A and B are shown apart, each in its own frame.
Chain A
């Protein structure tokens, strides 16, 4: 691991001095542009003014209902900015690294990397220790989500939402119910199969389909057969596309007969299209979670804690679940949903939102991969997805 943090680097200060000299020299002409550039590199965004408390959460799209943010603002008086620009773990990582790797601030206070990416952020020193004392509601969190091997005391992250990757199918296109990972490779669905660009979910399912246990997968060699299988399916034209969340369109319209999918999404589509079904394959499904992480350099500690504490209140968590359809990390959400009544109450019995014990028993999670091995995984997967 290389930790290249040297905050308030000499370079930054130097360029600011250089800026002054240069602008002194040439005045405010076009010539000072390089200097302005350099200066902008040095100074980081200075958004957090004193006075009113602020909070900026950058999350995945479609991951919160329309009321919670406003309700939080009213309840706490904190001015909250909520954006949905976290589209992809790798992409977001690449987007923020020019700043964070130099010890500069980025705009959001909280971001939502998936667990394996959160691991990387912590290793790179891009996360700050949470003020757990100010988040008493963290006691409501599901026990299975706490203390992962890479953050054993949950010092740096707490879960936002959790979910399952399994198989979704459009019954109109398949003509039958599916239940196995092997269905993804059924020649009958040639050109109508989708897989996720999220490597751990796609690869994990295929590995389980081959009878492997995810916790045993430590090196690239352990997974190479599954990679080969995916690659062959791709070259045969079995796989139509590798997608992010956009598989939902394809599944809904029937472009995909069957695909690797996330439980909450399918719950959303099923509202609109009763032909779409989700199943945890008999060989197993992956369980994952997205975290909330306090970004290095952010100074809004109080707001961060207030927010986390707020949404770990089962009442507020239930409101989010009613919208997203994901498996809530908070205990007691089911009861709250029933209290909400109407459509929300129906969710309490929805196996996608609250998977039955049988499905849960088939879920597996990925362990931590060593950096060098992860690099090999990523490289091979990128070459298969063809980009």
Chain B
């Protein structure tokens, strides 16, 4: 299994080529045939012991080839240097300068990404938890219908939804109109949601877009964990603690934490790497790291710096996920 995986990665990443590649492939082949052979000659016990590996192999291979190997390519590229402006295949040269550029020139974008993503995570939690709670405990026989309703908006394209927010938030749009009619624009200005009488192209619009687009990723896991809670348990808790809040705090909340944990990750991670919301709803002052990576990679052709930024983004996220997991005390991810 390990041999096969390592082989896949090394082939994918291009460590080996030519005759060596054939060698690696033969090795992988032998490993695979080995498993099949042992399963074939071995008895039921052996077969059973090998079954999980057999089931895992194709999928894991795929991930090795197209997830791990690309990460390696990316690492390699992030340490490469372009020889000239239109050098389309930068060569590996331990060029750490890309990381310096990524962190100095694009520091603000990193900061904004994490801030916006964190804000969106908190907001989705505040909006999503009550909704999941109501559906799970008060949905009755309409539970699945309600849950379906939550999912329905997300069957329209992500981009179309975000574009629809452009219409909603426009200066002459319905929401600004409503705020002005109610005469509460000062409140919104004070909250820094509005800027100079506008909602569009502000940090708030970007955070709002992120919140909206990733909301179901918060609602669904929370719902799943809430649904597992036996209502009788809540009743028992109500008897014990006598208040609903007490029952909620002592029973429901702790049991729903895995859902909250999973939801937060499912919101924070894509939000931190998103560039669509910042592009459609933001301004030059609200660009996120995703915009920069996209721009450097797909417009400026600066693969080394773009991949360096990707790598930093991934590392920061991985570390924060681990810290968060520790903090939440959740051993199982999801």
Contacts and interface: CB of A to CB of B under 8 A. Distances in A.
B93 interface: no
Contact of A191 (B26, B29, B196, B287): B196
A242 B284 CA distance: 7
Nearest to B69: A34
A258 B22 CA distance: 63
Interface stretch (A18-26, A56-64, A149-157, A295-303): A18-26
Q: Which of B61, B88, B196, B198 has the most CB of A within 10 A?
A: B88
Contact of B201 (A26, A94, A241): A241
Interface string A80-112: 000000001011011101100100000000000
A162 B201 CA distance: 31
A225 interface: no
A237 interface: yes
Given A26-B29, A240-B201, A386 B300 contact: no
Contacts of B200: 255
Given A4-B88, A97-B88, A31 B284 contact: no
Interface string B169-195: 011110000000000000000000001
A237 B285 contact: yes
A98 B21 CA distance: 24
Contacts of B287: 386-387
Interface core residue of B12, B285, B287 (most chain A CB under 10 Å): B285
Interface string B279-296: 000111101000110110
Nearest to B166: A249
A179 B65 CA distance: 58
A25 B62 CA distance: 19
Counting chain B CB atoms within 10 Å of each CB, which of A124, A190, A386, A387 scores highest? A387
A31 B25 contact: yes
Interface stretch (A322-330, A357-365, A375-383): A375-383
A43 interface: no
Interface range for B: 35 or more
Contact of B171 (A26, A253, A372): A253
B145 interface: no
A165 to B, nearest CB: 19
Contacts of A2: 83-84, 86-87
Contacts of A254: 170-172
A135 interface: no
Contact of B12 (A34, A241, A371): A34
Contacts of B232: none
A145 interface: no
B86 A124 contact: yes
Contact of A21 (B22, B86, B105, B291): B22
A101 B86 CA distance: 9
A18 B294 contact: no
A372 B86 CA distance: 11
A384 B292 CA distance: 12
A93 B28 contact: no
B283 to A, nearest CB: 5
A134 interface: no
Nearest to B299: A90
A31 B171 CA distance: 56
B301 A387 contact: no
Nearest to A27: B29
A103 to B, nearest CB: 12
B189 to A, nearest CB: 12
B138 interface: no
B258 to A, nearest CB: 34
A75 interface: no
Interface in B263-315: 282-285, 287, 291-292, 294-295, 297-301
B166 to A, nearest CB: 7
B88 A98 contact: yes
Q: Which of A2, A34, A191, A375 has the most CB of B within 10 A?
A: A34
B198 A30 contact: no
Contact of B11 (A34, A95, A124, A375): A34
B58 interface: yes
B300 A382 contact: yes
A25 B88 contact: no
A34 B25 CA distance: 10
Given A239-B284, A249-B166, A387-B294, A22 B22 contact: yes
A383 B284 CA distance: 10
Given A253-B172, A254-B172, A25 B284 contact: no
Interface string B32-68: 1000000000000000000000000010011001000
B196 to A, nearest CB: 5
Given A242-B284, A385-B284, A191 B198 contact: yes
B85 interface: yes
Contacts of B28: 31
A33 interface: yes
A379 B29 CA distance: 49
A79 interface: no
B299 A91 contact: yes
Contact of B173 (A97, A253, A379): A253
Contacts of A53: none
Contacts of B105: 383
Contacts of B201: 191, 240-241, 255
A41 to B, nearest CB: 11
Interface in A153-207: 190-192
A234 interface: yes
A378 B300 contact: yes
Given A97-B301, A387-B292, A255 B198 contact: yes
A101 B170 contact: no
B291 A30 contact: no
Interface of B: 8, 11-12, 18, 21-22, 25-26, 28-29, 32, 58, 61-62, 65, 83-88, 105, 166-167, 170-173, 195-196, 198, 200-201, 282-285, 287, 291-292, 294-295, 297-301
6 contacts: A25-B22, A94-B299, A191-B201, A237-B285, A241-B201, A382-B300
Interface of A: 2, 4, 18, 21-22, 25-26, 30-31, 33-34, 88, 90-91, 93-95, 97-98, 101, 124, 190-192, 234-235, 237, 239-242, 249, 253-255, 371-372, 375, 378-379, 382-387
Given A30-B62, A95-B298, A254-B172, 14 more contacts: A31-B28, A97-B86, A98-B88, A101-B88, A191-B201, A234-B284, A237-B195, A237-B285, A240-B283, A253-B171, A379-B300, A384-B284, A387-B291, A387-B294
